[in-house]
Amino acid sequence: MAKTVILGAGFAGQYAAIVLKDALKGKGNHEVVVVCPVTKFTFIPSLIWVGVGQMDVKKTQFDLLPVYKREGISFVHGLATEIHPDERYVIVEPKDGAGKDPVRVDYDYLINATGPHLNFAATPGLGPDGGYTQSICTPDHAEHTAKKYLELVKKLEKGERASVVVGTGHGTCTCQGAAFEFIAQIHNDLKDRGLRNQVDLKWISNEPQLGDFGIDGFETKMMMGSILFTANDMAEALYTEYNIQVQLRSHVSSVDEKFIHTEDVEGNINKIPYDFAMLIPQFKGKAIRYLDKDGNDLAGKLLNPAGFMKVDAVYGKPYPELDGPDWPKTYQNPLYKNMFAVGIAFAPPGPASKPMSTPSGAVVCPAPPRTGYTAELTAKAAALNIVDMIEGREISHTASMAETPGMCIASLKGSITSGSGCTIGIYPIVRDRKRYPEGNGRDMNATTLDMGLAGAWIKKGLHHAFLYKLSAKPMWKYMP
């Protein structure tokens, strides 16, 4: 019997658990254990609607325990604090009772799917807990954001004016796409309320240009291939239409009660007034200690400087030399072959967008996104590779971001009657310039962009489809 422990129950962890358990059915008494500090799955992409009061957070969630009971998956309600890879066990701090002693969970195979630590502390004054800005990164944060946003709406209804700022709160943030969606929700919600003219709306980002999204943007052919249309063109046109002010290539150095302080790569120091701000924090790896059999810290060998686990990528190359083959394929740790890291938990080989820095030395570079569909693909590859190992085969499943498609529906307005969304498909997600030299690293025939009401329908459809699939309901495994 083999025992696989999965840390986390987000996109990557939950999908790894149900894929692995399904693949092992009828193949022996193998155990799958999920360790997670929460008992609900949350569809994070829909928190953009929760944050403006247009969706109840409960509609983005389902209870994990009934799913695990039905599927035969064990669950440990707690937070992983230590991993001992030599002796193959995890130390877990229980979450289902105060004062309980830490527990030891042994494993034969381990999947790190913990997701990110939201590092608000990297930017003084950032975040809803002890800071001044809002967040849509967790269910609690999104609910708090909705409360603050609706308080602002009440002031606007009394005739007041306001400044609203949305974007990234650190020079190395990821998830520009979520902030992009959120600022569009605010614009359209205020427009529907007849309040948009009372608000100065501003976008702050660490992107080198609009539409970069941490993947170096994208290009697609329009009008029978005679016109090249880029993500930058799309975002510039949209922000012009929405009358959104833009500040790019910026690092937020601090936030106080009245101002957001930034420095850009040209050395400009800005002090931006605001009444409401939602800024994405820097992501780091979860605070887990990795210890060998003698108690020595393994972080320097297993993790990158941001705390994410190294896998089968090529690390250490300068940005100009990075290309598609350098990105991980199997998500197996090179030192401990029975450990895998998936979703946001794995360390990319470097940025997908051009790195920059401010004159004072602050790094300004979008981190590559590893969420949603990409998280699922990496999780599936790791889970099936563990099946290969259990059955004595060489691992054979891959999901390189340089070999898989990027599929994104960016909501601009959630209404299925008057809404809009950007439907984006690119291949591959990160550029492989050697394989696709003519398309600057991508297959131009497999890259597309569309905007309109259909995007709003698809976005709502994906909300329900992902919740259905990840709760392992009938026929789930036949859904892409």
> How many other C-beta atoms are found inside a 10 Å radius of the C-beta of residue 464?
12
With 60 as the cut, is the pLDDT of residue 32 above it? yes
Q: What is the dihedral of CA 15, 415, 151, 60, to 10 degrees?
A: -20
Q: What is the mean pLDDT of the chain?
A: 96
Tokens of 304: 């990158």
With 70 as the cut, is the pLDDT of residue 473 above it? yes
Per-residue model confidence as pLDDT tens digits over 95-152: 876 668 999 999 999 999 999 999 999 999 999 999 999 999 999 999 999 999 999 9
For the chain, list the domains and their CATH numbers. Answer: 3-118+283-390 (3.50.50.60)
Average pLDDT over residues 49-58: 98
End-to-end CA distance of the chain: 30
* Helices assigned H by DSSP within 202-327: 231-242, 299-302
Contact 329, 400 (CB under 8 A): yes
Q: Sorting pLDDT into bands at 50, 70 and 90, what band is 445?
A: confident
Q: Comparing C-alpha atoms, which of 43, 45, 42, 11 is closest to residue 410? A: 45
In whole angstroms, give the CA distance from residue 265 to residue 248: 9
Average pLDDT over residues 315-341: 98
Average pLDDT over residues 50-74: 98
Contact 86, 293 (CB under 8 A): yes
With 90 as the cut, is the pLDDT of residue 480 above it? no
Helix (H) or strand (E) holding 199: strand 199-204
Average pLDDT over residues 47-64: 98
With 80 as the cut, is the pLDDT of residue 451 above it? yes
In whole angstroms, give the CA distance from residue 401 to residue 442: 12
pTM of full prediction above 0.85: yes
Per-residue model confidence as pLDDT tens digits over 372-382: 999 999 999 99
Per-residue model confidence as pLDDT tens digits over 203-230: 999 999 999 999 999 998 765 455 678 9
